[in-house]
Amino acid sequence: MRTIIEPFRIKMTEPLKITTREERERALAAARHNVFLLDADDCCIDLLTDSGTGAMSTHQWAAMMLGDESYAGSRSWKRFEASVRAITGMAHVLPTHQGRAAEGILAECLVREGHVIPNNSHFDTTRANIEYRRGIALNLPCAEAFDTEHIAPFKGNMDVDALRRCIAEHGRDAIPFAMMTVTNNTGGGQPVSMANLREVKEVLAAHGIPLIIDACRFAENAYFIHEREPGYRGRSLLEIAQEMFALADGATMSAKKDGLANIGGFLACRNPEWAERFRSLLILREGFPTYGGLAGRDLEAIAVGLMEALEYDYQVYRHATVEYLATRLGGLGIPMVMPAGGHAVFLDARRMLPSIPPLAYPGIGVVNALYLAGGIRAVELGSVMFGHFDGEGREQPSPLELVRLAFPRRVYTQSHFDYIVEVMEEVWRDRARIPGYRIAWQPAMLRHFTCHFEPLAR
Ligand code: F0G
């Protein structure tokens, strides 16, 4: 087979700053050893997130010039709404400035104290929005999700028996809706199968519980279904996405991922009563319902981007880049979540640094070592991001200590990935020197973004 090439060429460049180790040591210390507090200019290769960091196409930039900035009823809104409707089949579309704004509106309208919201795995902002309403955000991932070495095609699936038990335990009235996150970001960017979505929908429908899809990476999920689930080879990614959304009553979306845009999102639903409640809050928090939190040009970029994300050749290339890095790192013996996810490679920091206990944050050790060795910025998805405090105030670790190398869309080329492999090789070779960390200061919520760390003596 021939090399899978980027199905685009580059006509605008953005310089990267190459730094020395001494400069990076100074920058990381000034950032209190938390890479979220670094200046982006000091990060040579920024794999912090795939959210809003992608490169737009010529078609998107051209569409932006057609942006209609009318307050109400703009052409750009019509195009945005048509794109979202074509994919989701949902009558009511509410534009928001990003995914968490859609989650906030959903939670504020539907979640009350003591409500339980099951999900294959909540992302941090979804969890925080539900907990802010004093609801309980429950993760029900399938059993394979916890075994990072186990190879299975759809490790993002929900444990359907656990969902049945959850409904039996809490009762239908305590569950205003359930969610399915596609792909399952927290669980390693792993996909959800159509069969699992269908089964979850059947269980929920039997109890009259609505299903909301957290659709950030719906196109990557559709690609995995196309490649891995029997019966989907002959179907277009758009058709697969339509079939996924046909099972849902609503969707929250961050267009910063599979909208291939730098900002934006939406909340969509079928139920007109929900839509009316959502819309009132949208006006209060985001803006008039035909622009939400967005400029007309943003609506245009998203309308085009959502469809580009469903182009098969683009997904083939995107997945090839993730596979390439995973295969090279696997060749070095570096432990990671297998198989590789849709938008990222997830290193298994617990297995990389077995002598560092979870509450000394091995994931932060790996993240900071990567930065110091090569200016690569990754993110911890472990006990700092997902740990919690029990009733007695004792810190409880996360079941997994992962480090995510997220791939901005259409941004880095193969030589960048070769450089990442070289830096990783060095980090892996010198891993005995990587320290654990303690938290010197933390805020009450979403601590990973702003907390301060101190390295522990080795
Ligand atoms: N849901 C999932 C599964 C996400 O991954 C994100 C964002 C959101 C919701 C919230 O969307 O950022 O537009 O408000 N994830 C980014 C990440 C931040 O790095 O994984 P948002």
Lining residues, ligand 1, CB within 6 Å: 49, 51, 98-100, 123, 125-126, 181, 185, 214, 216, 254, 256, 265
Q: What integer pLDDT is reported at residue 124 of this predicted model?
A: 86
Two tokens, residue 8: 């685009």
Cα 349 from Cα 334, distance rounded (Å) = 10
Tell me the Cα Rg of the chain.
21
Cα 396 from Cα 112, distance rounded (Å) = 25
What is the tally of structural domains in the chain? 2
Cα 35 from Cα 379, distance rounded (Å) = 8
Under 8 Å between Cβ of 60 and 297: no
Q: Do 391 and 430 share a domain, yes or no?
A: yes
User: What is the best residue among 49, 139, 185 to mutate for testing ligand 1's pocket, by most ligand atoms within 8 Å of CB?
Assistant: 185
**Percent of the chain topping pLDDT 90:** 95
Residue with tokens 């580059």: 10
User: Ligand 1, closest atom to CA 254?
Assistant: 13
Q: What integer pLDDT is reported at residue 224 of this predicted model?
A: 98
Q: Is residue 5 in a domain?
A: no
Q: Do 236 and 115 share a domain, yes or no?
A: yes
User: Ligand 1, closest atom to CA 125?
Assistant: 10
| Residue 99 CA to ligand 1 centre (angstroms) | 6
Cα 446 from Cα 231, distance rounded (Å) = 41
DSSP 3-state percent helix, strand, coil across the chain (nearest 5) = 45, 15, 40
By DSSP bridging, strand 45-46 and strand 376-377 are parallel
Under 8 Å between Cβ of 336 and 346: yes
39: nearest Cα among 47, 49, 31: 31
Q: What integer pLDDT is reported at residue 426 of this predicted model?
A: 98
Final residue of a structural domain among 308, 324, 355 = 308
Cα 21 from Cα 114, distance rounded (Å) = 50
User: What single-letter DSSP state applies at residue 456?
Assistant: P
Q: Do 407 and 277 share a domain, yes or no?
A: no
| Residue 211 CA to ligand 1 centre (angstroms) | 19
User: Ligand 1, closest atom to CA 379?
Assistant: 19
Query: Domain holding 290: CATH number?
Result: 3.40.640.10
Angle between helices 75-88 and 237-246 (to 10 degrees): 80
Cα 162 from Cα 207, distance rounded (Å) = 15
Q: Is residue 11 in a domain?
A: no
| Residue 48 CA to ligand 1 centre (angstroms) | 12
138: nearest Cα among 98, 106, 173, 170: 170
State the pTM of this model: 0.96
- One-letter amino acid at 297 equals R
User: What is the best residue among 123, 129, 212, 258 to mutate for testing ligand 1's pocket, by most ligand atoms within 8 Å of CB?
Assistant: 123
Final residue of a structural domain among 308, 340, 374 = 308
pLDDT, tens digit, 9 for 90 and up, residues 108-155: 999 999 999 999 999 989 999 999 999 999 999 999 998 888 999 999
Q: Is 168 exposed, middle or buried (0-12, 13-18, 19+ CB in 10 A)?
A: exposed
In the predicted structure, residue 187 carries a pLDDT above the cut 80: no
Q: Is residue 12 in a domain?
A: no
- Whole domain around residue 104: which residue ranges? 58-308
Under 8 Å between Cβ of 194 and 229: yes
* Mean pLDDT of the region 100-106: 98
User: What single-letter DSSP state applies at residue 182?
Assistant: S
407: nearest Cα among 350, 346, 331, 330: 346
Q: What integer pLDDT is reported at residue 445 of this predicted model?
A: 81
Omega within 30 of 0 (cis) for the link into 183: yes
| Residue 275 CA to ligand 1 centre (angstroms) | 22
Number of CB atoms found within 10 A of residue 230's CB: 7
Q: What integer pLDDT is reported at residue 296 of this predicted model?
A: 98
pLDDT, tens digit, 9 for 90 and up, residues 315-374: 999 999 999 999 999 999 999 999 999 999 999 999 999 999 999 999 999 999 999 999
Final residue of a structural domain among 308, 323, 342 = 308
Q: Do 280 and 354 share a domain, yes or no?
A: no
* β-bridge partners, 180: 213
Cα 66 from Cα 179, distance rounded (Å) = 35
Element (H, E) at 104: helix 99-110
